[in-house]
Amino acid sequence: MEQVVQQIIGGLATGAIYACIALSIVMIYQAIDHLNFAQGEMAMFSTYIAWQLMQWGAPYWGAFFITIAISFVLGYVIERTVFKPVHNAPVLSHIVIFIALFAIINSMAGFIWEFTIKPFPTPFGTKSVLGEGLLSAHGAGMIAVTGVMLGMLYLFFRYTRVGLAMRAASANPDSARLVGIRVGFMNALGWGMAAAIGAVAGMMIAPVVFLEPNMMVTILLYGFAGAVVGGLTSPGGAVFGGFAVGVIENLASFVPHFGAEMKLSIALALIILVLTLKPSGLFGRRIVSRV
């Protein structure tokens, strides 16, 4: 029993990672009705920016916030320059663009910062805060940061006019234009925000998995799994889904033959299971409408 509790808490800590990235996936899905397969790479690149700033002598929190700002701008610019011209193209073209972005960002990171593994600092320390080896300070901090970010997003979307405009632009772009919302601008804003959230996710994850250009590839899959479990239309659901995936994955290690190397398959199974049984996810909205 104690072992189970241990695994659950450990799962929550890794789950926080997945929750972070799931949140940024859902953000961009809200903004552009798409899953961005280059999302993880954008987060990785942001993390490198933070690393570079710290190399240049910036204190952790200074680098943290500057990175968020830079990432926001980068996300915005990528949408305006790369994505906007093909906005009306079919989904297949969009996916190719994502693949291209993936390749470009990944290789740029390798080009600028080399493909070697780099350690990345944590502002929370590595001491255990909950029993021996149960939950590290960094794990706790990560959970807290995810919570704060989710809260801020909730307030933003619920109570600000820009948040309302963004929701409207993604839910019904034509009607949004007809009330004077610049939908393209909102899309770009959505990319910017998603990049900023991704940056936070990257900076939180890097101390755990180390910084290297491919650090996000598999984590992205867990993020997708989390987002799908919670429902792609629900930021809160995505966070829940992320934690759930972390816990499920840890508990599955009790099943014989299902060692660590089968973890990815669990994410795969979760995605297919949820998409098949309940495509809107656990918390996704069914749209109520009368024709």
Partner 1 sequence: MKTSTPVTSVIAAIGATVITLAQNWKLAGFILVLIAGAIFPLCASGVFTFQITQLLIYAIAIAGLNLLTGFNGQFSLGHSAFYAIGAYVSAVLMTQLDMPFYLTIPIAAAVCFVFGFLFGLPALRLEGIYLALATFALAIATPQILKFKPVEHLTGGVQGLALFHLKPEAPFGLPFDQDQWTFYVTFAVTILMFFLAFSLVNSRSGRAMKAIRDNHIAAKVTGIDLSLFKTLTFGVSALFTGVAGSLSALLIAFVAPDSFQITLAIAIFVGMVVGGVGWIPGAFLGALFILFVPNIAEHIAFGLSAFFDLIRKVIPFFPSIGEQSAKGLTGTVYGVFLILLIYVMPSGLAGLLRLAVQRLARARS
Partner 2 sequence: MSTPLLSAKNLRAFYGPTQILYDLNFDMHTGGITTLLGANGAGKTTTLRALSAMVRTSGEIRFDGKLISNKETADIVRLGVAHVPEGRGTFVRQTVEENLQLGGITQPASQISADVERVFTYFPRLKERFRQQAGTLSGGEQQMLAIGRALMLRPKVMLLDEPSFGLAPLIVQEMFEILRTLNKKEKVSMFLVEQNASLALELADHAYLLETGRVVMSGPAKQLSADESIRRAYLGY
**Which residues of this chain interact with partner 2, rule CB under 8 A?**
161, 164-165, 167-168, 171-172, 174-183, 285, 287-290
Cβ neighbours of 156 (radius 10 Å) = 14
Residue closer to partner 2 by CB (options 160, 265) is 160
Shortest distance in whole angstroms from residue 107 CB to partner 2: 36
Per-residue CA distances from 193 to 66, 123, 236, 259, 287 (Å): 14, 23, 16, 36, 25
Q: How far apart are CA 181 and CA 178, in angstroms?
A: 7
Tell me: does residue 272 bind partner 1 (CB under 8 A): yes
Residue 171 interacts, among partner 1, partner 2, none and using kind-specific CB cut-offs from 5 to 8 Å, with: partner 2
CA-only gyration radius of the chain, Å: 19
Residue closer to partner 2 by CB (options 179, 273) is 179
Per-residue CA distances from 143 to 3, 148, 214, 238, 260 (Å): 21, 9, 23, 14, 23
Tell me: does residue 259 bind partner 1 (CB under 8 A): yes
Contact 217, 62 (CB under 8 A): no
Select the residue interacting with partner 1 from 93, 126, 160, 175 (CB under 8 A): 93
Residue closer to partner 1 by CB (options 140, 232) is 232
Residue closer to partner 1 by CB (options 93, 175) is 93
How many residues belong to the site for partner 1 (CB under 8 A)? Answer: 50
Tell me: does residue 91 bind partner 1 (CB under 8 A): yes
Contact 184, 3 (CB under 8 A): no
Residue closer to partner 1 by CB (options 97, 140) is 97
Per-residue CA distances from 202 to 24, 62, 157 (Å): 11, 16, 23
Residue 268 interacts, among partner 2, partner 1, none and using kind-specific CB cut-offs from 5 to 8 Å, with: partner 1
Helix (H, G, I), strand (E, B) or coil at 38: coil
Contact 209, 120 (CB under 8 A): no
Site for partner 1, rule CB under 8 A:
33-35, 37, 52, 82, 85-86, 89, 91-93, 95-97, 99-104, 106-108, 110-115, 217-218, 221, 224-225, 228, 257, 259, 261-265, 267-268, 271-272, 275-276, 279
